[in-house]
Amino acid sequence: MTGPWTDWDHVLKVDPDKDLVDGETFSDVCRTGTDAIEIGGTLDVTTDKMQRVVEACSRYDVPLYQEPSNPGVVIESDDLDGYLVPTVFNADSSFWVTGAHKEWVRIDGPLDWDRTTTEAYIVLNPDASVAELTEADTEQAADDVASFAAVAERMFGQEIVYIEYSGTFGDPEKVAAAQDALRESTLFYGGGIGDYDAAYEMGKHADTVVVGDLLHDEGVDAVRETVEGVNDAHAETVAE
Protein backbone atom coordinates (compact mmCIF):
# COMPACT_ATOMS: atom_id res chain seq x y z
CA MET A 1 0.00 0.00 0.00
CA THR A 2 2.06 2.87 -1.34
CA GLY A 3 -0.32 5.77 -1.97
CA PRO A 4 0.94 9.30 -1.24
CA TRP A 5 -0.98 9.33 2.05
CA THR A 6 1.60 6.98 3.54
CA ASP A 7 3.82 10.07 3.83
CA TRP A 8 1.16 12.44 5.18
CA ASP A 9 1.32 13.53 8.82
CA HIS A 10 -1.36 16.21 8.55
CA VAL A 11 -4.34 16.82 6.28
CA LEU A 12 -6.43 19.98 6.19
CA LYS A 13 -10.08 19.47 5.31
CA VAL A 14 -11.76 22.50 3.76
CA ASP A 15 -15.56 22.68 3.86
CA PRO A 16 -16.79 24.49 0.73
CA ASP A 17 -19.94 25.57 2.56
CA LYS A 18 -18.01 27.45 5.26
CA ASP A 19 -16.19 30.76 5.08
CA LEU A 20 -12.58 31.36 5.98
CA VAL A 21 -11.74 33.61 8.92
CA ASP A 22 -12.03 37.31 8.02
CA GLY A 23 -8.91 38.57 6.27
CA GLU A 24 -7.55 35.13 5.39
CA THR A 25 -7.21 33.72 1.89
CA PHE A 26 -6.72 30.34 0.27
CA SER A 27 -3.11 31.37 -0.27
CA ASP A 28 -2.80 31.44 3.54
CA VAL A 29 -4.56 28.08 3.77
CA CYS A 30 -2.12 26.44 1.38
CA ARG A 31 0.86 27.77 3.34
CA THR A 32 -0.03 26.24 6.71
CA GLY A 33 2.44 23.37 6.30
CA THR A 34 -0.23 20.71 5.86
CA ASP A 35 0.70 17.74 3.68
CA ALA A 36 -2.54 17.69 1.68
CA ILE A 37 -5.91 19.38 1.38
CA GLU A 38 -9.21 17.52 1.24
CA ILE A 39 -12.21 19.45 -0.01
CA GLY A 40 -15.47 18.13 1.33
CA GLY A 41 -18.37 18.50 3.72
CA THR A 42 -21.50 16.65 4.78
CA LEU A 43 -24.22 19.29 4.40
CA ASP A 44 -25.15 21.99 1.85
CA VAL A 45 -22.25 21.27 -0.48
CA THR A 46 -22.71 22.00 -4.19
CA THR A 47 -20.54 21.55 -7.26
CA ASP A 48 -20.19 25.33 -7.60
CA LYS A 49 -18.87 25.62 -4.05
CA MET A 50 -16.51 22.70 -4.64
CA GLN A 51 -15.22 24.21 -7.87
CA ARG A 52 -14.57 27.56 -6.21
CA VAL A 53 -12.29 26.02 -3.59
CA VAL A 54 -10.52 23.74 -6.06
CA GLU A 55 -9.71 26.67 -8.35
CA ALA A 56 -8.50 28.80 -5.45
CA CYS A 57 -6.18 26.10 -4.06
CA SER A 58 -4.90 24.75 -7.36
CA ARG A 59 -2.42 27.60 -7.76
CA TYR A 60 -0.29 26.27 -4.91
CA ASP A 61 1.97 23.25 -4.53
CA VAL A 62 -0.15 21.25 -2.10
CA PRO A 63 -1.78 17.90 -3.04
CA LEU A 64 -5.47 18.52 -3.59
CA TYR A 65 -8.21 15.90 -3.21
CA GLN A 66 -11.98 15.98 -3.31
CA GLU A 67 -13.85 14.02 -0.65
CA PRO A 68 -17.40 13.86 -2.06
CA SER A 69 -20.25 13.26 0.36
CA ASN A 70 -22.54 12.11 -2.46
CA PRO A 71 -22.31 11.54 -6.22
CA GLY A 72 -24.11 14.79 -7.00
CA VAL A 73 -21.22 17.00 -5.84
CA VAL A 74 -18.36 15.27 -7.65
CA ILE A 75 -16.46 17.56 -9.99
CA GLU A 76 -14.10 16.52 -12.75
CA SER A 77 -10.96 18.63 -12.70
CA ASP A 78 -7.35 18.14 -13.73
CA ASP A 79 -6.46 20.39 -10.80
CA LEU A 80 -7.34 17.56 -8.42
CA ASP A 81 -4.79 14.93 -7.52
CA GLY A 82 -7.61 12.52 -6.90
CA TYR A 83 -10.76 11.55 -5.05
CA LEU A 84 -10.93 10.14 -1.52
CA VAL A 85 -14.34 8.55 -1.20
CA PRO A 86 -15.79 7.65 2.22
CA THR A 87 -17.38 4.28 2.79
CA VAL A 88 -18.86 4.06 6.30
CA PHE A 89 -18.19 0.63 7.71
CA ASN A 90 -20.44 1.06 10.74
CA ALA A 91 -23.36 2.66 8.88
CA ASP A 92 -26.80 1.22 9.50
CA SER A 93 -27.55 1.00 5.79
CA SER A 94 -25.50 -0.58 3.03
CA PHE A 95 -26.21 2.57 1.00
CA TRP A 96 -23.30 4.28 2.76
CA VAL A 97 -21.03 1.25 2.33
CA THR A 98 -21.57 0.53 -1.37
CA GLY A 99 -24.97 1.88 -2.44
CA ALA A 100 -24.04 5.53 -3.01
CA HIS A 101 -20.87 4.39 -4.74
CA LYS A 102 -22.82 2.11 -7.08
CA GLU A 103 -25.08 5.04 -8.00
CA TRP A 104 -22.04 7.19 -8.77
CA VAL A 105 -20.69 4.54 -11.12
CA ARG A 106 -24.12 4.01 -12.69
CA ILE A 107 -24.62 7.71 -13.36
CA ASP A 108 -21.10 8.83 -14.23
CA GLY A 109 -19.14 5.64 -14.90
CA PRO A 110 -16.60 4.63 -15.84
CA LEU A 111 -14.86 6.64 -13.15
CA ASP A 112 -11.29 7.85 -13.11
CA TRP A 113 -10.27 4.71 -11.24
CA ASP A 114 -6.56 5.54 -11.19
CA ARG A 115 -7.30 8.63 -9.12
CA THR A 116 -10.08 7.22 -6.95
CA THR A 117 -9.46 5.67 -3.51
CA THR A 118 -11.95 4.77 -0.81
CA GLU A 119 -11.56 5.59 2.88
CA ALA A 120 -12.92 3.08 5.39
CA TYR A 121 -14.68 5.37 7.84
CA ILE A 122 -15.46 4.27 11.39
CA VAL A 123 -17.76 7.00 12.72
CA LEU A 124 -17.77 7.31 16.51
CA ASN A 125 -19.39 10.62 17.48
CA PRO A 126 -23.19 10.14 17.60
CA ASP A 127 -23.78 13.90 17.39
CA ALA A 128 -21.79 14.38 14.18
CA SER A 129 -23.66 15.20 10.97
CA VAL A 130 -22.09 12.21 9.24
CA ALA A 131 -23.30 9.90 12.03
CA GLU A 132 -26.84 11.19 11.74
CA LEU A 133 -26.84 11.07 7.95
CA THR A 134 -25.55 7.50 7.77
CA GLU A 135 -27.27 6.33 10.99
CA ALA A 136 -23.92 4.98 12.11
CA ASP A 137 -23.73 2.66 15.09
CA THR A 138 -21.29 4.72 17.12
CA GLU A 139 -21.42 2.59 20.27
CA GLN A 140 -18.20 0.72 19.58
CA ALA A 141 -15.71 -0.50 22.17
CA ALA A 142 -11.98 -0.44 21.48
CA ASP A 143 -11.95 -4.07 20.38
CA ASP A 144 -14.87 -3.38 18.01
CA VAL A 145 -12.96 -0.50 16.44
CA ALA A 146 -9.88 -2.69 16.09
CA SER A 147 -11.97 -5.38 14.44
CA PHE A 148 -13.51 -2.93 11.97
CA ALA A 149 -10.02 -1.71 11.11
CA ALA A 150 -8.74 -5.24 10.54
CA VAL A 151 -11.73 -6.11 8.37
CA ALA A 152 -11.26 -2.94 6.33
CA GLU A 153 -7.62 -3.71 5.67
CA ARG A 154 -7.44 -7.48 5.48
CA MET A 155 -10.82 -8.34 3.91
CA PHE A 156 -11.59 -5.23 1.87
CA GLY A 157 -8.09 -4.06 1.02
CA GLN A 158 -8.66 -0.50 2.20
CA GLU A 159 -5.53 1.64 2.03
CA ILE A 160 -6.98 4.25 4.39
CA VAL A 161 -8.83 3.56 7.63
CA TYR A 162 -10.41 6.73 9.04
CA ILE A 163 -11.46 7.08 12.68
CA GLU A 164 -14.03 9.89 12.56
CA TYR A 165 -15.08 11.83 15.66
CA SER A 166 -16.10 15.00 13.80
CA GLY A 167 -17.09 17.71 16.28
CA THR A 168 -15.42 16.27 19.38
CA PHE A 169 -12.06 14.96 20.56
CA GLY A 170 -12.08 11.18 20.46
CA ASP A 171 -10.90 8.35 22.67
CA PRO A 172 -7.15 7.80 22.19
CA GLU A 173 -7.53 4.21 23.38
CA LYS A 174 -9.81 3.39 20.45
CA VAL A 175 -7.48 5.09 17.98
CA ALA A 176 -4.54 3.17 19.39
CA ALA A 177 -6.53 -0.07 19.13
CA ALA A 178 -7.19 0.59 15.45
CA GLN A 179 -3.52 1.31 14.85
CA ASP A 180 -2.47 -1.92 16.56
CA ALA A 181 -4.84 -3.88 14.31
CA LEU A 182 -3.34 -2.54 11.08
CA ARG A 183 -0.31 -3.83 9.22
CA GLU A 184 0.03 -1.60 6.18
CA SER A 185 -3.02 0.67 5.89
CA THR A 186 -2.69 4.33 6.80
CA LEU A 187 -4.72 5.35 9.85
CA PHE A 188 -6.42 8.75 9.60
CA TYR A 189 -7.92 10.43 12.65
CA GLY A 190 -10.32 13.39 12.53
CA GLY A 191 -12.31 15.17 15.22
CA GLY A 192 -11.80 17.87 17.84
CA ILE A 193 -8.25 18.81 16.87
CA GLY A 194 -8.22 22.35 18.21
CA ASP A 195 -4.65 23.01 19.29
CA TYR A 196 -1.09 21.73 19.51
CA ASP A 197 -1.81 19.38 22.42
CA ALA A 198 -4.74 17.65 20.73
CA ALA A 199 -2.76 17.12 17.54
CA TYR A 200 0.20 15.83 19.52
CA GLU A 201 -1.97 13.39 21.49
CA MET A 202 -3.63 11.85 18.45
CA GLY A 203 -0.38 12.01 16.50
CA LYS A 204 0.99 9.43 18.94
CA HIS A 205 -1.55 6.93 17.62
CA ALA A 206 -2.68 7.96 14.13
CA ASP A 207 -0.52 8.10 11.02
CA THR A 208 -2.37 11.16 9.74
CA VAL A 209 -4.26 13.78 11.72
CA VAL A 210 -7.07 15.57 9.88
CA VAL A 211 -8.01 19.11 10.88
CA GLY A 212 -11.18 20.76 9.60
CA ASP A 213 -13.43 23.03 11.67
CA LEU A 214 -10.44 24.76 13.26
CA LEU A 215 -9.58 26.39 9.94
CA HIS A 216 -13.00 28.01 9.64
CA ASP A 217 -13.37 28.84 13.34
CA GLU A 218 -9.91 30.00 14.39
CA GLY A 219 -7.85 30.41 11.23
CA VAL A 220 -4.52 29.46 9.73
CA ASP A 221 -2.30 30.26 12.72
CA ALA A 222 -4.23 27.74 14.80
CA VAL A 223 -3.89 25.19 12.00
CA ARG A 224 -0.12 25.70 11.93
CA GLU A 225 0.01 24.78 15.62
CA THR A 226 -1.67 21.46 14.87
CA VAL A 227 0.83 20.76 12.09
CA GLU A 228 3.60 21.32 14.61
CA GLY A 229 1.89 19.10 17.18
CA VAL A 230 1.49 16.03 14.97
CA ASN A 231 4.96 16.46 13.48
CA ASP A 232 6.50 16.55 16.95
CA ALA A 233 4.57 13.43 18.01
CA HIS A 234 5.73 11.53 14.94
CA ALA A 235 9.34 12.69 15.36
CA GLU A 236 9.36 11.39 18.93
CA THR A 237 7.84 8.08 17.85
CA VAL A 238 10.57 7.58 15.25
CA ALA A 239 13.25 8.43 17.82
CA GLU A 240 11.99 5.86 20.33
pLDDT in tens, the chain (240 residues): 679 999 999 999 999 889 999 999 999 999 999 999 999 876 777 888 889 999 999 999 999 999 987 777 888 889 999 999 999 999 999 999 999 899 889 888 788 899 999 999 999 999 998 999 999 999 999 999 999 999 999 999 999 999 999 989 999 999 999 999 999 999 999 999 999 999 999 999 999 999 999 999 999 999 999 999 999 999 998 776
DSSP code per residue over 155-215 = IT--SEEEEE-TTS---HHHHHHHHHH-SSSEEEEES---SHHHHHHHHTT-SEEEE-HHH
Q: How confident is the model at residue 107, as a pLDDT?
A: 85
Asked whether residue 165 is marked as a ligand-binding residue, the answer is yes
What class does CATH assign to 7-239? Answer: alpha beta
Residues 184, 110: Cα–Cα separation, whole Å: 28
163 marked ligand binding residue: yes
Model-wide pTM > 0.75 = yes
36, 62 contact by CB (below 8 A): yes
Do residues 147 and 56 make contact, with C-beta atoms less than 8 angstroms apart?
no
Cα torsion 56, 61, 63, 66 to 10°: value is: 10
Report the C-alpha gap between 234 and 214 in whole angstroms: 21
Q: How far is CA 70 from CA 8, 42, 84, 204, in A?
A: 25, 9, 12, 32
Q: What pLDDT shows up at residue 182?
A: 98
Residue 186 annotated in ligand binding: no
pLDDT of 50 reads: 87
221 annotated as ligand-binding: no
pLDDT of 96 reads: 92
Q: Which helix (H) or strand (E) element contains residue 37?
A: strand 36-39
| Structural contact between residues 108 and 126, judged by C-beta atoms closer than 8 angstroms | no
> Does 23 carry a binding-site annotation?
no
213 is in an annotated binding site: yes
Alpha carbon distance 35, 52 (integer Å) = 21
pLDDT reported for residue 1: 63
Beta pairing, strands 82-88 & 64-66: parallel
Tell me if 122 is assigned to a ligand binding site: no
Ligand-binding site membership of 13 (annotated): yes
Q: Is 212 annotated as a binding residue?
A: yes
Is 49 annotated for ligand binding? no
Q: How far apart are CA 164 and CA 122, in angstroms?
A: 6
Q: Is 99 annotated as a binding residue?
A: no
Name the residue ranges covered by the structural domains of the chain. Answer: 7-239
DSSP codes, 218-236: T-HHHHHHHHHHHHHHHHH
Tell me the backbone φ, ψ of residue 18, rounded to 5 degrees: -115, 150
The reply to whether 42 sits in an annotated binding site is yes
- CA angle, corner 139, sides to 135 and 141, nearest 5? 145
57 CB burial (10 A radius; 0-12, 13-18, 19+) = buried
